[in-house]
Amino acid sequence: MKKNRTDNFDKFSLKKKGSAVKENIRQDKKKAKAESRAMGEAARQRKIDKARGIVTDPPREKYAKGPYAKKTTGYEKKPSTRKSFQDAQPKYGELTPSHTARPATTRPTSASKRTPASMDKADEKRTASIGKVNAAADTPYEQMPLNKYIAHAGISGRREAAAMVKSGHVTINGDTILEPGYKVQYKDVVRLKGKVLQLQVTPVYILLNKPKDYICTANDPEGRKTVLDIIKNATTQRMFPVGRLDRNTTGVLILTNDGDLAQKLTHPSYEIKKIYEVTLDKPVTKADLEAIAKGVDLEDGFIAADAVSYLSNTSKNVIGIEIHSGRNRIVRRIFEHLGYDVRHLDRVMFANLTKKNVDRGKWRFLAEKEVRLLKFMNKSFTRKSAKES
């Protein structure tokens, strides 16, 4: 009796609860959907290969067996014959790299049939060509679903894009595509009703703590080091510096591919604040400090600092100066006009961004909040100026 009571208790304690049963049903349904999706992908691949002249005969006897010979609900327990589909699947799944490289293939005659050896050889050629395509450093993506591509081109949302594709309005390299999930490759030409679509450039914003001996340009005929050399591994987008610094000036520098923001940060009407730490060859007199605050006349016009002061009570040759002018070498020319030689110039702030936690020669991406602040910086000032004018 004792043994029977123990056995009954074990049956009760080990019995699966309602939540466990539901979870098993969910997992079975998830697996069934994944397998159905894989079958659809294989069928789509065979259709594409057939259009390109690549003849492949699927092992039909395998597809006639197992749970895939009839429609399943996802709740049935999968029999052991499920492995037969997995064995057949790689023969078609392995052909998917042809989407990426799309190498030229020889169309076999209708009488010829591909053998496993010939299929493996074709796959090796495709893999080799894929490596050449992916080796290009300027490819922003390898493949993208067609409806996502249309959405990223700024035409519509993904659902509306899927409807456009199914309506037959979209072509890729001249072929009408009806599958919203079709994988678009980097070099494909996508047209919507005859109009070529282009992906919108993803904006990138980088803050660099510029070191000496680097110039702020994309290319230098003399072969000197540029700031783009420092961030070459940051992005594949074409970047350019904003608020340029000369070769011997260090400090905060912004690099971006956002032309609108770059124009805003450099346009005089926005009066973007810049703060520099200037080390001079000799102590600056109080009279010269006052003259800089009141303004001096340079060869290209009058200029006055927004603020200027000593940075130390003991050393009078280290000065902090705030200025919003974007004229070329303006800080150096102010001090040179008064008879000082600038030994070191470091920009410690630009558009309220500092080099805090960014070592010399290092960089970081701007946070989303920082980008928003840059885009709306001094907006009230520019509106006020427009009303006054």
Two structure tokens written together for 243: 């608020």
Two structure tokens written together for 140: 């922003």
Phi-psi region of 156 (alpha: psi -120 to 50; beta: other; left: phi over 0): beta
> Is 181 strand, coil or helix?
coil
Residues 315, 291: Cα–Cα separation, whole Å: 19
Of the listed 246, 260, 281, 341, which one is catalytic?
Answer: 246
Residues 166, 170: Cα–Cα separation, whole Å: 8
Residues 98, 125: Cα–Cα separation, whole Å: 9
Bridge partners for 172 per DSSP: 175, 190
Two structure tokens written together for 90: 């790689």
246 flagged as catalytic? yes
Residues 232, 73: Cα–Cα separation, whole Å: 51
Two structure tokens written together for 208: 């660099």
Residues 327, 243: Cα–Cα separation, whole Å: 10
Quickly tell me which residue has 């999930």 as its tokens.
181
Query: Which residues are identified as catalytic?
Result: 246
